[in-house]
Chains A and B, each alone.
Chain A
């Protein structure tokens, strides 16, 4: 009786120990995860993941700023405030925001006669610039829209288009 209990306890301990050793080994071997500098730059970015900077998202842009010395003024959604904060953090000179690609600040517009109220565009909008309820027509708040075009692709009836800012 006593020995059976001891074997059971020992077996479980051995399994747990082996699992712990494997995890410790893996976490030592793999390269250090997060670059503290990249994290701090990433925190300052607006996390809209709009890719207007020319990088696939905010974190890749933060990595490019830290590792490859990319310009800090490529983020239109963040605006001048973000550039100022980045400049302060990195000790670089603040420049006015550059628009990376295409026309200056096109805004999303919804063709309201076609909208079916599926809420897909509302969910995908990183800055909550789309209002509307399920089964009801949606619309874009022009002053909030950053022109990231994320909603255009999501719309199942293609009723969103980009138009010049008024």
Chain B
């Protein structure tokens, strides 16, 4: 149990995939313009990330390793991720057309979020069993959601701020993201994984 909590803390705060490992910067910049889209995107990504990282772990452990095919992991993980994204799309469209309208283009974009592939690949090195890999994916997606929602809030404030002309728009957003990343460095050393 303590191990699992440690994994959560480590992936959410200490080794945050966006701010410490710099994966998934594209949705981090693209979808953080308003809070609702950021929230929806983090929910959808959380689902895909958790599902795909645990399924990837199973495939790697019980299909690729016994057959001595470890070199196929990248392409098979991409396959798994694409299937998970498609599954999410079908489910969101059928269950809640309203949410589908809000998320719209963002759902297929999850497939190209490098954090998803990154988590799946790091997962198989670091997780020791299926439950751990599940928590690893869950923690990574919670970290992604936390950072995305926080950053959407910051960008809301930036809109109203008097920013010098050369820094307006994406430039100041990246400066803010850098400062946020520095703040997250404060967690380093808290947990080792």
Contact = CB atoms under 8 A, between A and B. Distances in A.
A14 to B, nearest CB: 8
B55 to A, nearest CB: 9
A20 B138 CA distance: 25
Contact of A26 (B82, B90, B159): B90
A30 B94 contact: yes
B101 A19 contact: no
Contacts of B91: 26, 30
A22 B52 CA distance: 14
Given A11-B63, A15-B76, A33-B97, A23 B90 contact: yes
A128 to B, nearest CB: 17
Interface string A23-42: 10011001111100000000
Interface stretch (A65-73, A96-104, A113-121): A113-121
Interface in B151-186: 156, 159-160, 162, 168
Contacts of B98: 57, 59-60
B83 A22 contact: yes
A166 to B, nearest CB: 30
A118 B161 CA distance: 8
B88 to A, nearest CB: 10
Given A12-B75, A15-B80, A22-B87, A118 B160 contact: yes
B67 A11 contact: yes
A1 interface: no
For chain A, which range describes its interface: under 10, 10 to 19, 20 to 34, or 35 or more residues? Answer: 20 to 34
A62 to B, nearest CB: 10
Contacts of A16: 79
Given A23-B83, A33-B94, A59 B72 contact: no
Q: Which of A4, A19, A57, A134 has the most CB of B within 10 A?
A: A19
Interface of B: 34, 59, 63-64, 67-69, 72, 75-76, 79-80, 82-83, 86-87, 90-91, 93-95, 97-98, 101, 156, 159-160, 162, 168
Given A23-B87, A123-B34, 6 more contacts: A4-B68, A7-B67, A15-B59, A22-B87, A59-B97, A134-B159
Contacts of A14: 63
Nearest to A42: B97
A54 interface: no
Contacts of B168: 134
A132 interface: no
28 contacts: A7-B67, A8-B72, A11-B63, A11-B72, A12-B76, A12-B79, A14-B63, A15-B59, A15-B76, A15-B80, A19-B79, A19-B80, A19-B82, A19-B83, A22-B83, A22-B87, A23-B90, A26-B90, A26-B91, A30-B91, A31-B94, A32-B94, A34-B93, A34-B97, A59-B97, A118-B160, A120-B159, A134-B159
Contact of B76 (A11, A34, A134): A11
Contact of A59 (B34, B82, B94, B101): B101
Nearest to B77: A15
Contact of A15 (B34, B63, B87, B90): B63
Nearest to A10: B67
